[in-house]
Amino acid sequence: MNISVYRPGELTAADRAAWSALQSRAVEDGSPQLANPFLAPEFALAVGRCRAGARIAVVREDGEPVGFFPYQRSPLGVGRAIGLGVSDAQGLIHRPGFQWDARELLHACGLSVWEFDHLVEGQKPFEAGASGSYRSPVVDVEQGFEPYLAALRKQSPKFTRTTLAKERRLGRDIGEVRYVHDERDPEALRTLVSWKSAQYRRTGRSDRFARAWIARLVEQLFHTRTESFAGLLSVLYAGERPVAAHFGLRSRQVLACWFPSYDPAFAKYSPGLVLHLRMAEGAAAAGLAYLDLGRGEKEYKNSLKTRELCVSEGWVTRRHPVALGHRVRRAPVRALRNTVLARPELFEPADRLLKRVGRLRQGD
């Protein structure tokens, strides 16, 4: 392999176009997982403007780019998936049938280890280092919204009936329900961020938007729009009031769900669920193939999904003391978290405790 490493801003226009072309052909080439917007050059470039150490390795054969590997590198050579912690799809974007050697790639990138937590399917050289695989629910809308809604009525009749009834009730009680699939008002984004930050604190979670680089990243992606990629803000209004909103990323084929939230004052109407149905309708109208709801066991995801993808987490390592030290430090933390998430008898008490801590913090 002929591998060159660049800072994101150093990537040529021709290389960015080749990267986007690989993604655009991914579905018809039998690799739909590579069409995810988290694997797009625009996402990598945005992270590069917010995080030091972002790099892109370009793999060439006969002078032509056949693979793009975005990652983050520490001064000691510890590598992580680019945007680790907020990225829901990771891996090497490549030409159909391309094979690579993971350790050779890491060596060329100056990495002793590369850590991932949302490795997409079909990345066999990396999958050898996976410590676990997890379901990522999907909503298929390629055939249109009405076929999806009909399937949903059959699959989750009570959920569908109740959600649509709450939408009608919201309109009667508060005002006409209006959905904007692509809201361009920055004030609406600020409203969503404030809801989401409050939700994190209320449930005892770490507020992602308190981390300056994540706030900057979302702001940049909101203003990023190309033919094959955009940050997409969708808002549900009742009367003139926003009651639920979602910010995600879209490629030509996929809407990656990312930051949903709602105004707690309207919780009895389940505006977040209504919003997700309208997002499916909007995605279908825009010609997208599916919505990726993201890794994680949530009741609403199980109700909305039509199928599941699989993502993996783990490490690829070279023989190096830094790699060993990183794995020894990180493995127990990941194992404990995954054990709690996978076992209801552990997760539910932990979730209640976090929410109690959140209420106490709000009381302060």
Q: What is the residue whose two structure tokens read 């309208």?
A: 278
Q: How far apart are CA 174 and CA 266, in angstroms?
A: 9
Provide the residue type at 185 as one letter: D
Provide the residue type at 104 as one letter: E
From the list 234, 233, 250, 260, the residue with the least C-alpha distance to 288 is 250
Segment 150-172, tens digit of pLDDT: 999 999 999 999 999 999 999 99
Neighbour tally for 146: CB within 10 Å: 11
Alpha-carbon dihedral 101, 23, 294, 301, rounded to 10 degrees: -130
Question: Given a cut of 90, is residue 194 above it in pLDDT?
Answer: yes
Q: How far apart are CA 34 and CA 318, in angstroms?
A: 25
Averaged over 75-86, what is the pLDDT? 93
pLDDT of residue 27: 82
Residue 353 pLDDT level (bands cut at 50, 70, 90): very low
- Give the CA distances from residue 317 to residues 102, 115, 122, 313, 360, in Å, rounded to whole numbers and listed in that order: 9, 9, 19, 13, 42
Q: Which two tokens stand for residue 194?
A: 């404030």
Q: How far apart are CA 46 and CA 215, in angstroms?
A: 12
Cβ-contact 312, 135 below 8 angstroms: no
pLDDT of residue 51: 94
Tell me how long the chain is.
Answer: 364
Question: Given a cut of 70, is residue 327 above it in pLDDT?
Answer: no
Question: Given a cut of 70, is residue 299 above it in pLDDT?
Answer: yes
Cβ-contact 19, 43 below 8 angstroms: no
pLDDT of residue 318: 82
Q: How far apart are CA 205 and CA 357, in angstroms?
A: 9
DSSP structure class, residue 53: T
Which residue would you say has higher pLDDT here, 319 or 126? 126
| Alpha helices, H only, 25-144 | 41-50, 102-109, 124-127
Strand pairing of 241-250 and 93-94?
unpaired
Q: What is the residue whose two structure tokens read 């949302």?
A: 118
Residue 80 pLDDT level (bands cut at 50, 70, 90): very high
Ramachandran area for residue 334 (φ above 0: left; ψ -120 to 50: alpha; else beta)? alpha
- Give the CA distances from residue 127 to residues 55, 78, 313, in Å, rounded to whole numbers and listed in that order: 21, 18, 9
Q: Which two tokens stand for residue 235?
A: 């808002």
pLDDT of residue 149: 97
Q: How far apart are CA 329 and CA 178, in angstroms?
A: 49
Interior CA angle at 362 toward 345 and 270, to 5°? 65
pTM: 0.88
Question: Given a cut of 90, is residue 229 above it in pLDDT?
Answer: yes
- Give the CA distances from residue 109 to residues 42, 80, 206, 262, 323, in Å, rounded to whole numbers and listed in that order: 21, 12, 32, 42, 14
Question: Given a cut of 80, is residue 336 above it in pLDDT?
Answer: no
Q: How far apart are CA 144 and CA 38, in angstroms?
A: 24
pLDDT of residue 362: 44
Cβ-contact 309, 136 below 8 angstroms: yes
